[in-house]
Amino acid sequence: MDYIEYRLREIPEEIKEILMAELSELGFESFAETGEGLDAYVPVSSFKEEAEEYLTLKIRKLGIKFERETIREQNWNALWESQYEPVIIAGKCMVRAPFHDPLPGILYDILIEPRMSFGTAHHETTALMLEMLLREDLTNYKVLDMGCGTGVLGILASKMGASGVDAIDTDEWAFGNCRDNVGKNNLSNISVIHGDTRNIPETVYNMILANINRNVLLEDLPVYGRHLAESGSLFLSGFYEKDMAAIRNRAEEQGLTLICSESKNNWVGAKFVK
């Protein structure tokens, strides 16, 4: 499938999430936040001319700089391979593509096919979640990876001793990518589900992982609270430091207590316990 890539630059932080929501309504399937702005991808087949006219007018009105490029299916993997580098977290975990060689001394070697799904450990939020997860003892834990993207968090949880992982994402592309990555890592205890909170199994989890955006977290926190076991841990990321108070207040309404939080470049990772 051919994709159109929009490289958006100089986006005011206060409108970035709103812009992503509007782009999603226009058919954009995947986003990659960079140090310069936002890269957004939409299938050529589903991007209508009127949507393109609206988008061009809107981003120009907002003063956002942008470049547009069509990425052909046959060169997509080559593009990723030329830009994608492995990531090492805390000296213990390596997130790499199949075309990278493993390194000796790495405790958890994770293979992630670098497609258009969120979660290659390059973004601050994924790195934060991995770092926090590496400090935990997950032996025999039942884990929910909500908004799983590539499945990298659930895969690490499995490799760290979780007895079972349910990985859920609303995005069909992410669902397929996660399922492929589970296979590449030869894991049999991860169930990949296409859906949202309504598709969470009737299960109580020892740990829930959710690296999503602020608005989704605020909406879904009551569901996480219901599915989390007593003394269970909830790890959240995908929001900014300025959103921490709202996230904490919403979590406390569900009987969750903030244990710790960390930040990277204004992004936050937080641990709550029920």
Do 73 and 204 lie in one domain? The reply is no
What is the Cα–Cα distance from 85 to 135, expressed in whole angstroms? Answer: 24
Is residue 183 in some structural domain? Answer: yes
Is residue 31 scored above 80 in pLDDT?
A: no
Which conformational region is residue 105 in: left (phi greater than 0), alpha (psi within -120 to 50 degrees), or beta?
Answer: left
Is residue 133 in some structural domain? Answer: yes
What is the Cα–Cα distance from 7 to 94, expressed in whole angstroms? Answer: 28
Do 127 and 263 lie in one domain? The reply is yes
Is residue 175 scored above 60 in pLDDT?
A: yes
Do 144 and 205 lie in one domain? The reply is yes
Instruction: Give how far Cα 138 sits from Cα of 60, 133, 135, 180, 207, Å.
Output: 48, 9, 9, 23, 8
Task: Specify the pLDDT at position 164.
Answer: 97
What is the Cα–Cα distance from 108 to 118, expressed in whole angstroms? Answer: 20
Task: Specify the pLDDT at position 159.
Answer: 98
Which conformational region is residue 15 in: left (phi greater than 0), alpha (psi within -120 to 50 degrees), or beta?
Answer: alpha
Task: Specify the pLDDT at position 84.
Answer: 67
- Mean pLDDT value across residues 237-246: 92
- Domain hosting 207: range is 123-273
- Mean pLDDT value across residues 254-262: 96
Task: Specify the pLDDT at position 95.
Answer: 92
Task: Specify the pLDDT at position 121.
Answer: 63
**Number of domains the chain is built from:** 2
Least confident of 43-47, 142-146, 195-199, 236-240: 43-47
| pLDDT tens-place string over residues 136-149 | 999 999 999 999 98
- Mean pLDDT value across residues 261-267: 90
What's the start-to-end Cα distance of the chain, in Å? 44
Is residue 104 in some structural domain? Answer: no
| pLDDT tens-place string over residues 79-95 | 555 556 788 999 999 99
Mean pLDDT of the chain: 88
Sign of CA dihedral 16, 20, 25, 26: positive
Task: Specify the pLDDT at position 195.
Answer: 94
Q: Residues in the chain, how many?
A: 274
- Mean pLDDT value across residues 57-78: 76
Task: Specify the pLDDT at position 205.
Answer: 98
Is residue 64 scored above 90 in pLDDT?
A: no
Do 141 and 212 lie in one domain? The reply is yes
Question: Helices (DSSP H) in the chain: which residue ranges?
Answer: 13-25, 49-61, 76-83, 124-133, 152-159, 172-184, 214-227, 244-253
Is residue 106 in some structural domain? Answer: no
Tell which wins on pLDDT, 76 or 123.
123
DSSP symbol at 46: G
Is residue 264 in some structural domain? Answer: yes
- Of the pLDDT bands very low, low, confident and very high (cuts 50, 70, 90), residue 47 is confident
Is residue 260 in some structural domain? Answer: yes
Task: Specify the pLDDT at position 120.
Answer: 63
Domain termination site, one of 13, 44, 78: 78
The CATH number of residue 246's host domain is 3.40.50.150
Do 156 and 239 lie in one domain? The reply is yes
Cβ contacts of 253-259, under 8 Å, gap ≥ 24: 253/221, 253/222, 254/221, 254/222, 254/224, 254/225, 255/225, 256/221, 256/225, 256/228, 259/233
- Mean pLDDT value across residues 187-216: 94
- Of the pLDDT bands very low, low, confident and very high (cuts 50, 70, 90), residue 114 is low
Tell which wins on pLDDT, 34 or 26.
26
Is residue 43 in some structural domain? Answer: yes
User: Is the pTM of the predicted complex or chain greater than 0.95?
Assistant: no
Do 141 and 35 lie in one domain? The reply is no
Least confident of 68-77, 181-190, 207-216, 225-234: 68-77
What is the Cα–Cα distance from 66 to 19, expressed in whole angstroms? Answer: 13
Do 134 and 22 lie in one domain? The reply is no
